[in-house]
Amino acid sequence: MDWPHDPDGEEGSEGGRKYGMAIIAKKIDEEEDFPISKQEFAEEHADEPIRINHKRVVSVADIFEHVEGTEFETMVDFHKAVGAGMRRGGFWDYHPQGENPAKKSA
């Protein structure tokens, strides 16, 4: 896929130093953007690359197909929804284990 910018450049993953959720979080101003609409965020950033790991790059749109909810009040709410969506979509190799994986932090 032809990306609008280099997934490993300063607009992407800062030369390959940041992955997944860290790249998505860089697109938000926590002081000004909340509450944030899932639809508006996904439309604005749909074609932008997100490096998942050293081998895989996907678009914001690919990830947001799996994110539930319509609006997020805080950065924590946003992170929880996006993280759950990334797990549902098979974008993360790590999945919490144990008696209660829903309560174990990733």
* Cis status, amide bond into 4, omega within 30 of 0: no
pLDDT in tens, 49-98: 988 888 888 999 999 999 999 999 999 999 999 989 998 998 886 656 65
Q: Give the DSSP H or E segment for 64.
A: helix 60-64
In 3D space, the residue among 77, 73, 79 whose CA is nearest the CA of residue 63 turns out to be 79
- C-alpha distances (whole Å) from 19 to each of 22, 32, 38, 98, 102 are 6, 23, 20, 25, 22
In the prediction, which pLDDT does 21 show?
A: 82
Cβ–Cβ < 8 Å for 81, 67: yes
